[in-house]
Structures are given as C-alpha cells and as structure tokens.
Amino acid sequence: MKRAHEPPASSAGLQIEFLIKSKKRILLLTLIGAATICSSLTIIAPLNGDRSFYSDILSVITSGSALFFSLQIINRQKVKGLFPRLYALLGLGVALWFIAESIWMYYELIAGIETPFPSIADVFWLAGYIPLFYFLYGMLKNFLGTSKSMYFPLIVGSSIGLAMLANILFLIYQNADLSTSDGIWTYIVSSAYPVSDMFLIIPAIAAFIQLRKGKLTSTPWAYLVIAHILFIAGDIGFAHFTTMGGMDDLLWIWNPFYEVAYLVIASSLFWHKEFFTIDEKKLMKEWQEKNR
C-alpha cells in the first residue's frame, strides 16, 4: 500500500518534465548571452583596432569549448555503436577546426602574418568538412529519414544554396591569377571551400526541414543542425564578400557566425553529456560510498 506522503508517479513525471524544461531555458539563455558577448566584442573590435585579436581569441575559445565537451562525450560513449560513432565524427571535425583556428591565431597574433592564405590552417579546415558531412548524412539517414513531402522544399532550398555557391565559384575563377603556381594554389584552396559547402548544404537543409516539421525536437540534435547552417551561411557570406572586391574591411561581419556556431555545438554537446551519457566512474564512486 502506498504511503500518504509518497507522491504519485504522474507527479514525479511532471516534476522531471518541469526540471528538463527549466534546464533547457537556462541553457538557451546562457547560449544567447554568450553569443551576444561574442558578437558585441566582434562589432566593437574594429573601432579599437583590435579586430584580429578579438576574432582569433574568440574563435579559439568557442571552438575549444565545443571540443572540450566533445572529448568528454567520446570518453564516456567510446566509439562502439552507430550513435557514438556519429558523435565521434562530429568530435573529429570540431578537433580539426580547433587546430585550424589555433594555427590561424598563431599566424596573426604571434607571427604577425595578417590573413595568411593559403596556409596550413586551410588544410585542417578543409579536412574538417569530411567528418562533419558524414555526421550530417548519418544523422539524416539513420534518425530523421526522408519523405515525399520534403522533396519540394528540399529541392528549392538546395537549388538556391547551390546557385549561390556556383556563382561564388565563378567569381573566384574570374579573379584568379592562374599564371603563377601561387595563384593556382590560391584558386584551388579558394574553390575548395564552396565545393565543400555544397556537400554540407543538402543534408543540412534536409535536416532543417525535418526540424521544422517537428520530427527533430530533441535539444542536442536541433542545435547541431542550426550550427551547421550557421557555418554554411558564414562561409557563403565570407566567400561572397571576398570575391566582390573592396569588401576586405567588412569581412569581420561574418566572424560571429562561426563563433556562435561553435557555441551552439558546445551547448548541444553539454546537453547530450548531461542527459544522454553515463559517467561510469561517478556511478561507481557513488555506489562505493553507499556500500562501505
């Protein structure tokens, strides 16, 4: 017989649901606050002449925070099974981009080389697209799926995005100096970014459509989709400004897209770590404390 002071199961369920909603709200407010700070510092930086300093430091900090939580998840989940392997791919992509951000910061802040291009950092940035593509594709294939109702918006959205990227490729070709080896390498590396984005944009838009239809309601998955869209938007804007000419002083406008995207990934991974992974060492320690 249940004691009078014991709450019914439904009441406990409501308490857990309220707790999760409260933590979601706190996470979202924290993310908005951090994103506002990063964006504000990036906007203020040109006025103080410290554009490279703020941008590079913030990029390393934000990508480092995403990598930190990613390593924690990989350590807990290992890489056995589909779900852990997908998160391992995401972690690999974030790690490669963190290395690229660190190298870029070294060039600009320590070596004093302003906007080095192409550089070793580009190797790691471009390599990072590979695991991120497989992460998005794996998420879409194994957890979201596709339906006939999403074909039309997917075709429209992807066509617009691919048309913009194709236009950027054409502008890169027009502005390229193919008479020297350095010019050829610059053209190849410059073109590699929009080509890489072409592989990301279709699964990203497909996942976003499923998100809009309510088929992707879990906080970590939704945040990860949004983060990839921010990366693609930043790449498109940055490449477009670069190819237009005379816009170099405004390229910093796109920096917050990358910084906020890293923060969104970090928030997603933090949520996943807290609610979807098990800390075996912590559980063992608690068990030992209770069974002394």
List per-residue pLDDT tens for the chain, 292 residues long.
445 554 555 565 666 677 778 888 898 899 999 999 988 888 776 655 566 778 889 999 999 999 999 999 998 888 888 888 999 999 999 999 999 999 999 988 888 877 677 889 999 999 999 999 999 888 877 766 666 666 676 777 778 878 888 888 888 888 888 888 888 888 898 889 988 888 888 888 877 777 655 444 466 788 888 898 899 888 888 888 877 766 667 778 888 999 999 999 999 999 888 877 765 565 555 555 555 6
* 207 falls within a domain: yes
60 in Cβ contact with 113 (< 8 Å) = no
* 22 falls within a domain: no
* 8 falls within a domain: no
pLDDT of residue 102: 95
Global confidence as pTM: 0.84
* 182 falls within a domain: yes
* 272 falls within a domain: yes
* 5 falls within a domain: no
132 in Cβ contact with 90 (< 8 Å) = yes
pLDDT of residue 71: 94
* 33 falls within a domain: no
Q: To the nearest 5 percent, what fractions of the chain are helix, strand and coil?
A: 85, 0, 15
| 121, two tokens | 């950092």
Q: Residue 168: which domain range?
A: 38-286
Count the domains in the chain: 1
Residues 128, 36, 199, CA angle at the centre, nearest 5°?
25
* 25 falls within a domain: no
237 in Cβ contact with 253 (< 8 Å) = yes
